[in-house]
Structure 1
Amino acid sequence: MATSPVRAKDRHKTRIDTWQWRGKNARGEMVRGELAAADYEHVRRTLAQQSIIVKSIRKQRKLPGFTKRVRPRDITLFARQMATMLRAGIPLLQSFTAVADSTRNPAMRNFIETLHKDVAGGMNFSKALAKHPRHVDELFVHLVEAGEQAGVLDGMLERVATYKEKLDALKARVKKAMYYPTAVLGVGFGVTALLLVKVVPQFESMFKGFGAELPMPTQVTIALSEAAQAHWLQAVIALVAVIFGLRVALKRSPAFSMQVSRLMLRLPILGTILDRSAIARFSRTLATTFAAGVPLMDALETSAGASGNRVYQRAILVIREDVSSGQQLHFAMRNTRLFSALAIQMVAIGEEAGSLDAMLNKVADFYEEDVETRVDTLTSLLEPFIIVVLGILVGGLVVSMYLPIFELGNAI
């Protein structure tokens, strides 16, 4: 009996893997599936409890670097499931177990089991969450702590889930605006590079027997093909190095990150989307934390980190200092010269009426809808532009290769 706590501790340190199993159920039907567990025996016992006669169990193999991790949407789903469980009257520890059993992500299962262990050991849920800053932000911790103190943990988890769902939807819209044209143009340039390296050399060997001077477009295409064949590896390495260097610089250099944020906000169309997105995220985060009873100073600090833009993050921290010195929130927002007149006016009304959280939510709703509309408009405008660019790249290259053949046919 004395060794059981040690064994339990070792079990929690064991890596959670995904196991694929196959067997027969109580009706004699062949069934199969996956289960996240620490070892073979755990899988066998779990299946035996479900009256499944096991035929085979094997660990799912994973490629190096492709192991699953805890994603933001996993945390959102966890908050929603926990809120539902607690609202249904299920105790907290039982809720952890049920949610852990329902997830197929080993990393997420391990995270939930760690929370279960800490809370079962006497730690508050909020303190257990605070031990995982990589997965859980300060807002989540603040709201859970407020829910524990007020005895409304299910309501606070519901609020966290709703907030994160709206924030995830907003992030997805912004990513769509940024990644869609980049991905399509990247495919276009990739196809063009493939044609230059693999297809154009075939035409070049054929043109050598013409004995006549090639048209200028064809000469340019062949020169590009020769350059691509000679330096494609260096170009790929340089591109990867530039992307990696930018990512490192953005993480490690606050000054460089600030300059990039300012540049992004000045871009046509896309800059407006990023600007409205930052205001929406600030408003939604501040409304959620303030409505939960979190002090305004702490709520502003949390909102600064959630804005998603260095320029707004610095401005919100300045707002926090001004408010702490006695200024009203809408005055401090106006002094930054970043926030729109609508947002400032709505905050001023909320402060006067004592309904700041409601007004901030309205600001967030308005700008989230505005971002969605602008992203849809941007996508519609970019589609014909992208088609034209791809047509020029691929079509121009193909035409330049067939020009000598056309001239040869006219000469005959």
Structure 2
Amino acid sequence: MAFFNNDEKELSWLYEGRTKTGDLVRGTVEAPTAIIARVKLRKRDIAPISIKAQSSFSFFSNIFANLRSKSTNTHEKRVNLFTGLARSREIHNLVQGKDKEAKNKKKAKSPVKDKEITIFIKQFVVVIKAGVPLLRAFDIVINGQENRKFVLILQDIKFGVENGLSLSESFGSYPKVFDALFINFLAIGEQGGILETLLTRYLEYKEKVDAIKRRVKSAMAYPIIVVIVCCLVLSVILGFVVPQFQKIFESMNAKLPAPTLIVIALSDIIVHYWWLVIVCIVGMVYAFKYTYRTIPRFRFFIDSAIFRVPLFGDLAQKTLISRWTRTLSLLFAAGVPLNGALRSIAMLVDNYLFGAATLNIQKDVEGGSSLYNSMQATNIFPNMVTQMVAVGEEAGSLDFLLKSIADYYDQEIEMVIEAILAMIEPATIVILGAVLGSIIVAIYLPLFHLGDVVG
């Protein structure tokens, strides 16, 4: 444990585990990280089932705590998605990946970027394929990392493996860094002796998903930047230009038309209460994010409403379908049972509507229904998708057809992004021109009236 500062304060970890005789035991163990806590328990002949930090003091307490989801509930079909608050909360806990005690805490942000994780996995796969022993492979890959926090995490993972923990156990101690899909593939690869193959498949999957994610983010960022620039331009006009005309209007001592009074009122708000405007905007954003994160019904409503937004709703739906089918294809090809694969996808998807639908599909599949019938019953998958799934089930090539669906939707995503980018510029010109034109007309109306009086 030389990679940790000797002065690092140890945390108290609550654990639940089983002894060699199968007895269930609970208690606490002192350790600076979750992995070291697991190692200590192993040395006591206790197989840990769950472990989480009893209190939080520092950066490590948020990262090292095990926040794996324990929810195992399902939800009604789409027609009933907005009924039953208790069941909505079950979906809320599952999709968020939080246990009951953590559901009101702010979600910890990963200290490692997606790009860094992808590069690490790529290096790790290359080194393992070269036949380098596992612990030596960790040393080689760790030496190539620049992110100090990531280095500490990888050193802790290596320590766990070195002391008898499996790869999936060690990596699984960092759920905010490594997703559940990666952990599942590690577990399957270790058990089946096909770790290299599955990691290679996961790497291909992650690179594809990350590429689509970057394209979608770029498409969403452009209109946001345009809106911010427009707001800044309007603020300058209302804050500096309109007040100059206001002085002229006051010297005229004439009755001003309603449009001019509205513009002057907006200008007064910007000039004298700009701080209140900022507070209100920040407050509304925070209130929206808090409500979205903590109230399941509200999030269901927002996640459903987004699909009805022109172009952007189409982009969101296609992105979700692409990732959903690609993930299911990957898991199914790796030999994961369909029921377990659907469960994993429900935990990974970040849209409540798709998360609830996936759980409902899982429930139907458990009851003996085909994947095609279960997907069709949700009414959120296009007919083309469900028909190809039906063909895949009949032909015994479900993983191949699911991947084909994902590839098709990736192309569709590119087309939608191009349409959005092509639409934004003219739409911005029209909207900004209309707003600025309205302000200019409102400002000059009194001057026109004054000219008529003088004439």
TM above 0.5: yes
Check conservation: 1:147, 1:154, Cα contact below 8 A.
Answer: yes
Aligned to 1:148: 190
- The amino acid of 1:287's aligned partner reads S
Check conservation: 1:281, 1:306, Cα contact below 8 A.
Answer: no
- The amino acid of 2:373's aligned partner reads F
What's the CA shift string for 1:46-69, capped at 9, x where partnerless? xxxxxxxxxxxxxxxxxxxxx992
Q: Comparing 97-106 with 260-269, which one deviates more in the overlay?
A: 97-106
Task: State how far apart, in whole Å, the 1-side matches of 2:3 and 2:307 are.
Answer: 51
- The amino acid of 1:386's aligned partner reads T
Distance 1:387 1:92, change over 3 A: farther
Deviation at 1:200, TM superposition (A): 2.4
Deviation at 1:79, TM superposition (A): 1.4
Pairing of 1:80-119 with structure 2 (within 5 A)? 80-119=122-161
Check conservation: 2:110, 2:176, Cα contact below 8 A.
Answer: no
Q: Is 2:292 the counterpart of 1:250?
A: yes
Q: Is 2:217 the counterpart of 1:175?
A: yes
Aligned to 1:166: 208
Deviation at 1:317, TM superposition (A): 0.5
Aligned to 1:260: 302
Aligned to 1:274: 316
Distance 1:213 1:90, change over 3 A: same
Check conservation: 1:68, 1:107, Cα contact below 8 A.
Answer: no
Q: Is 2:375 the counterpart of 1:333?
A: yes
Extract unaligned runs of 5+ from structure 1. Answer: 15-66
Deviation at 1:12, TM superposition (A): 11
Aligned to 2:356: 314
Task: State how far apart, in whole Å, the 2-side matches of 1:241 and 1:103 are.
Answer: 39
Task: State how far apart, in whole Å, the 1-side matches of 2:293 and 2:257 are.
Answer: 49
Query: Matched residue of 2:273: which SS?
Result: helix
Check conservation: 1:177, 1:270, Cα contact below 8 A.
Answer: no
Extract unaligned runs of 5+ from structure 2. Answer: 10-108
Check conservation: 2:111, 2:177, Cα contact below 8 A.
Answer: no
Pairing of 1:5-404 with structure 2 (within 5 A)? 7=2, 10=5, 69-209=111-251, 218-398=260-440, 401=443
Aligned to 2:69: none
Check conservation: 2:328, 2:341, Cα contact below 8 A.
Answer: yes
> TM-score, normalising length from structure 1?
0.78
Task: State how far apart, in whole Å, the 2-side matches of 1:138 and 1:392 are.
Answer: 49
Distance 1:12 1:358, change over 3 A: farther
- The amino acid of 1:173's aligned partner reads R
Task: State how far apart, in whole Å, the 2-side matches of 1:279 and 1:128 are.
Answer: 31
Task: State how far apart, in whole Å, the 2-side matches of 1:112 and 1:191 are.
Answer: 47
Task: State how far apart, in whole Å, the 1-side matches of 2:220 and 2:295 are.
Answer: 22
Task: State how far apart, in whole Å, the 2-side matches of 1:212 and 1:315 are.
Answer: 63
Task: State how far apart, in whole Å, the 2-side matches of 1:142 and 1:179 are.
Answer: 32
Check conservation: 1:282, 1:304, Cα contact below 8 A.
Answer: no
Distance 1:345 1:12, change over 3 A: farther
What's the CA shift string for 1:284-339, capped at 9, x where partnerless? 11111111122211111111233331111101111101111111111111111111
Task: State how far apart, in whole Å, the 1-side matches of 2:6 and 2:329 are.
Answer: 41
Higher relative contact order (CA 8 A, sep 6+): 2
Aligned-residue CA RMSD in angstroms? 2.8
Task: State how far apart, in whole Å, the 2-side matches of 1:159 and 1:226 are.
Answer: 60
Aligned to 2:26: none
Query: Matched residue of 2:394: which SS?
Result: helix
Deviation at 1:360, TM superposition (A): 0.6
Check conservation: 2:319, 2:410, Cα contact below 8 A.
Answer: yes
Deviation at 1:392, TM superposition (A): 2.6
- The amino acid of 1:286's aligned partner reads L
Check conservation: 2:172, 2:178, Cα contact below 8 A.
Answer: yes
Task: State how far apart, in whole Å, the 2-side matches of 1:173 and 1:105 are.
Answer: 25
Check conservation: 1:68, 1:105, Cα contact below 8 A.
Answer: no
Deviation at 1:131, TM superposition (A): 0.9
> TM-score, normalising length from structure 2?
0.71
Distance 1:377 1:12, change over 3 A: farther
Deviation at 1:253, TM superposition (A): 1.5
Check conservation: 1:142, 1:294, Cα contact below 8 A.
Answer: no
Aligned length in residues: 356
Task: State how far apart, in whole Å, the 2-side matches of 1:390 and 1:91 are.
Answer: 62
Distance 1:99 1:394, change over 3 A: farther
Identity %: 35
Q: Comparing 157-166 with 220-229, which one deviates more in the overlay?
A: 220-229
What's the CA shift string for 1:167-208, capped at 9, x where partnerless? 122223333343322321122012211321233223433554
- The amino acid of 2:233's aligned partner reads V
Task: State how far apart, in whole Å, the 1-side matches of 2:439 and 2:152 are.
Answer: 53
- The amino acid of 2:431's aligned partner reads V
Distance 1:77 1:311, change over 3 A: same
